[in-house]
Amino acid sequence: MPLTKIEKWDASTGATTAAFATLHTALKIAEKDLRVEFRRSYELLSVLTFSLASILVCSFVSGASATPVVSAAFLWTILFFASILVFTTSFTREADKGTLLGLKTIPCNALAILLGKIFYGAALLFLVEIVLLACAVVFLNAAFRAEILFVFFLGALSLASAGSFISALVMFSEGKTLLLSFLLFPVSLPVLISGSAATAKMLGGSTLGEIMPAIELLIAFLLLIFLVMSLTFEFVIEE
């Protein structure tokens, strides 16, 4: 009996190909989102302006004598509020304009859409972090070390995971902006605690080995949220 086209396809694909297809789709979605973001530049500019203004205010308060602990607290507080600004529009814009339905027509796992949003969010947050770090070096007299970028990268990825997932959770509800800010704080607490602690130690001169517990906590958070997302996202995206 001849096989149908779909049976043939199933026979030729494996889990690796499916994972690769999910990653490929996620990267394409992230690329599209970044392109749209840079063309709408006013949203990105508002996040950067907020970050710059906040760090300037912090430098007025603490002067050039900010301790590493204070500088880290400033950086992560600003980053948290910047992430609220980024994730308020992440899924909501797609849902409001109807393009989310277009993404749902893609022949891929629903998780690919979320991963795309995470990559996009992480890229934007990382950009904000770099600007913040540069400002911290100039205005707060913080000591720059290349290893800190690794902590920031993990922090951006973790915050983006939590933020994108919550953004998807609240996208169909009323008062989504308020809900996002309320939910993001408790969910991202492990990221904020470990990220700020690691940053403070790094700014104080600790090595990467000395901040390993904080890095491990960030990685554990990433794994946990990825597990939750992969189990629930298919239901979250249902209207």
Q: Which residues bind another protein (CB under 8 A)?
A: 2, 4-6, 8-10, 12, 17-18, 20-21, 24-25, 28-29, 32, 35-36, 39-40, 97-99, 101-102, 104-110, 234, 238-239
* Separation of alpha carbons 239 and 236, rounded Å: 8
In angstroms, give the least distance from the CB of 25 to another protein.
6
Q: Which is nearer to another protein, 210 or 234 (CB)?
A: 234
Based on CB atoms, which residue is closest to another protein, 37 or 129? 37
**Closer to another protein at the Cβ: 219 or 236?**
236
Closer Cβ to another protein, 102 or 213, answer by number: 102
Angle at 191 between CA 103 and CA 38, to 5 degrees: 40
Shortest spacing between CB 161 and another protein, in angstroms: 21
Shortest Cβ 190–another protein spacing (Å) = 30
Distance between CA 63 and CA 72 in Å, rounded?
15
The answer to whether 115 and 23 are in contact (CB under 8 A) is yes
The distance of closest approach from Cβ of residue 35 to another protein in the complex, given in angstroms and rounded to an integer, is 7
Tokens matching residue 3: 């096989």
How far apart are alpha carbons 120 and 126 in whole angstroms? 10
Closest CA to 34 of 138, 117, 131: 117
How far apart CA 150 and CA 211 sit, in angstroms, is 12
**DSSP state at residue 40:** T
Query: By C-beta, is 173 or 207 nearer to another protein?
Result: 173
In whole angstroms, the minimum distance from the beta carbon of 139 to another protein comes to: 33
